[in-house]
A and B are shown apart, each in its own frame.
Chain A
Amino acid sequence: MNTAAALAGRWPGVAAAPSPNEGDVAIDIRGLSFRPPSRNRDAVEILSGIDLAVRQREFIAIVGPSGCGKSTLLNFVAGLLPVQSGQVTVRGQGGQAPSLGYVFQQHGLLPWRTAQKNVELGLEIAGLPVPQRQERARAMLAQMGLAGYERHYPRELSGGMRQRVALAKTLVTEPQVVLMDEPFGALDAQTRVAVQSLFAEFWTRHRATVLFVTHDIDEALLLADRVVVMGARPGRIVAQYTVPTARPRSHHQLRQQPAFNELYDTLWNDIAHLAQDAGRPAARRPS
């Protein structure tokens, strides 16, 4: 089945048929703007003229004040929102529509399924035979440090464990493009560091293309190849930085590098300024 065509048909605005010389670009966003349907003609644009090209296997972190449309941007890439103006193209490594993974801010697990069954969901939908999907889900849970919790329901797990199950559920399908919306935001500091290194390790092995929304600068610098800073009202890209540090990285090791500290300060300043701007009422445009 031609999935690219099916994708384009189902989600208007997601263009099919990439030209061959653009094969290296996994996510191509051009002039993406979004204004929510509203009777109020002064309604603020959620996104305004977003241009972003993400290379295959690149890890991008998006930081910015709340309300800058980071999550909305992910929803456009996932095809959960129809594109109004601009263009969003998502390509797999062979140029076809890639397999997608999305880790939401809330875990989004089905409460009536055990951890094991939740992780199997994506494989079930893909039509994988039962023994294989059981084996892969079990192995993935073990990788996330959840061996022995296969038969627990989400309500019987702690917040950190649920989020790890959600991560396992997404990663077990080995998606080529992974979208993550503050996936570790709800975790306590210790758990977060542990889950971050789990995920960093996984990514080093599988090298998916990742769009990772976070408000934690440390996290962005630990994980990403490139950090994109977004501003609010309207949501737009204000700066991009390449993270110079080699992998594997650790929190401890990063702190001792001058280049890291410099970038950390720059990002911190950017976000502090943006947050100040966002505190003021948005300028009304004359109609």
Chain B
Amino acid sequence: MNERFLIRSLQGLVFVGFLLVWELGGAWRWWDPTWTSSPVRVAQAFAESLADGQILRHTGVTLTESFAGLLAGAAVGVLLGVLLGLSRVLGAVMEPFVIALNSLPRVALAPLIVMYVGIGFMSKFLLSFSLVVVPMMLGTYEGIRAADPIWLQSMQVLRANRVQVFFKVLLPSCVPWMFSGLRVSISLAIVGAIVGEFISARAGIGFMIDEAAGGFDSTRMLMPLIVLTLLAFVLDRLVLAASTRLLRWREG
């Protein structure tokens, strides 16, 4: 309890210290705040943007793209992972291809995707999807293969059918892997949407940043970025809380 309190206090101190250095360094001319902006300027820009509704609109666009990619990517990834995990032959056949797909820097697919589907919602969605689907698939696949053989043997002795083995043993044993896959995927989904917006877009956080970059406006470049970071952080905490709650049975 005491150590927990100490850690929380130190975390608060690090955060406040960072803001102070950032603000005062510019104010005291340790560096030129044109390049770094400052917490106060970012906060002002945020308040203005909140007032005219811009930040809400653009954040909404980016989050919609990311969430669509995340949900579809997670669903398809889990499905593919299950397929690969259940069929020993299919799993062995596809493994090198999946690994190759995983090592491919998939953001580099962006121009190709834009060429196929244009610069609308679809390109951001597909880019998010392509980033999310592979780690979710690999996680589920690993989870199924990590099922303890003794669980399967004991199901066989109890004369369980394949459907029962799947729903009572294989699927629950994947859940921890799915959760860690999901945590990685949240930031990947956002990366996909932002990169898509950089390439070409009319709305979204990536669009805001790109537009501000055209005017050398560091404050309006950093502000949406910070908003997005905070949102992604909160989302990660939520998933983490859900997983600790659902995975109460885990060791340690």
Q: Footprint of B on A, CB under 8 Å?
A: 78-80, 100-102, 104, 106, 108, 110-113, 121-122, 124-126, 153-155, 173
Contact = CB atoms under 8 A, between A and B. Distances in A.
A78 B175 CA distance: 30
Main secondary structure, interface of B, reads: helix
A126 B151 CA distance: 17
Contacts, number: 55
B150 interface: yes
Contacts of B247: 112
Contact of B153 (A102, A121, A154, A155): A102
Contact of B169 (A80, A110, A122): A110
13 contacts: A100-B159, A101-B157, A108-B151, A110-B151, A110-B172, A112-B172, A121-B168, A124-B168, A125-B155, A125-B158, A153-B249, A154-B249, A155-B249
B160 interface: yes
Nearest to B168: A121
A153 B157 CA distance: 23
Given A113-B249, A121-B158, A125-B164, 4 more contacts: A79-B156, A100-B159, A104-B154, A108-B154
B3 interface: no
B88 interface: no
A78 B156 CA distance: 9
B250 interface: yes
Contacts of A111: 249-251
A178 to B, nearest CB: 10
A203 B116 CA distance: 70
B206 to A, nearest CB: 40
Given A111-B249, A111-B251, A155-B249, A173 B151 contact: no
Interface of B: 148, 150-151, 153-160, 164, 168-169, 172-173, 175, 247-251
B215 to A, nearest CB: 54
Contacts of B153: 78, 80, 102, 104, 108
A4 to B, nearest CB: 13
Contact of A100 (B157, B164, B169, B251): B157
B160 to A, nearest CB: 5
Nearest to B164: A125
Contacts of A102: 153-154, 157
B78 to A, nearest CB: 17
B250 A155 contact: yes
A111 B146 CA distance: 13
A106 B150 contact: yes
B140 to A, nearest CB: 16
A122 B160 CA distance: 8
B157 A155 contact: no
Given A111-B251, A112-B172, A153-B249, A104 B150 contact: yes
B172 A125 contact: no
A80 B156 contact: yes
B157 A78 contact: yes
Contacts of A154: 249
Contacts of B157: 78-80, 100-102
Nearest to A152: B249
Contacts of B172: 110, 112
A78 B173 CA distance: 24
Contact of B249 (A101, A108, A112, A121): A112
Contacts of A78: 153, 156-157
Nearest to B165: A125
A155 B151 contact: no
Nearest to B246: A112
Contact of A125 (B151, B159, B175, B248): B159
Contacts of B173: 112
Contacts of A100: 157-159
B160 A125 contact: yes
Identify the interface centre among B156, B164, B247, B248: most chain A CB within 10 Å of its CB.
B156
